[in-house]
Amino acid sequence: MAQTKADLFQEDEIMCASYAKALSHPARVAILKVLAQRKSCVCGDIVEELPLAQATVSQHLKELKEVGLIQGTIDGPSVCYCINPEGLQRAQKLLSGLFTAAAKCCG
């Protein structure tokens, strides 16, 4: 059992869930906040800010990158991460759309 049925839903529901999933761990929320505050977005700085090992942070960064919320550019030996405005906007639009639709229910 437990073969996933997540793809039996509508496209926008799946996208909405994907973005929400990317934000569903405090570490990833924290990463976005760090990126928002700092000008320099070097990976090492992020690792220092979080109570997690380097490998774990790298994994979280990968998830955020895969869904398109952040992007990383190689800067010499290190990698500079940055929020991806387009992805962020798309996520915001989808989620706030859900919220405003839902708010209409139940008077």
Q: Which residues bind a second copy (CB under 8 A)?
A: 5-6, 8-10, 13-14, 16-17, 20-30, 32-33, 35-37, 41, 51-52, 82-83, 85, 88-89, 91-92, 95-96, 98-99, 101-106
CA dist 5 and 80 (Å) reads 36
- E strands, the chain, where? 70-75, 78-83
CA dist 8 and 74 (Å) reads 38
Count CB atoms within 10 A of the CB of residue 22: 22
Measured from the CB of residue 106, what is the shortest distance to DNA in angstroms? 17
CA dist 78 and 51 (Å) reads 20
Of the residues 31, 61, 70, 94, which one makes contact with DNA according to CB under 7 A: 61
Number of residues that bind DNA (CB under 7 A): 31
Binding site for DNA (CB under 7 A): 1-6, 21, 24-25, 27, 42-44, 47, 52-56, 58-63, 72, 74, 76-79
